[in-house]
Amino acid sequence: MLIATLLGLVALVAGLAFGWPVLVLLSIIFTAVQMMMLAARTAVERNDVKLSAKLAAKEARRRDM
């Protein structure tokens, strides 16, 4: 996913260098979507860690009973 984001940035620079406005616009949109996907993946991973900690604590309380 990081490679795709970097390729989008390279396409953006190429579009700016060659003066292709459509490529620039599509590269901006693509890169923005990739950045949102990276942020969402990070948030999901963080949530998974929190949830697994809560479940482990809950299971430990059940075992003690």
Q: Which residues span the domain enclosing 19?
A: 2-64
Return per-residue pLDDT of the chain as tens, 65 residues.
778 878 888 888 888 899 889 888 888 898 899 889 999 999 999 999 999 999 999 999 999 87
Domain count, the chain: 1
Distance from C-alpha of 25 to C-alpha of 11, rounded to nearest angstrom: 10
Distance from C-alpha of 62 to C-alpha of 64, rounded to nearest angstrom: 5
Q: What is the pLDDT of residue 47?
A: 97
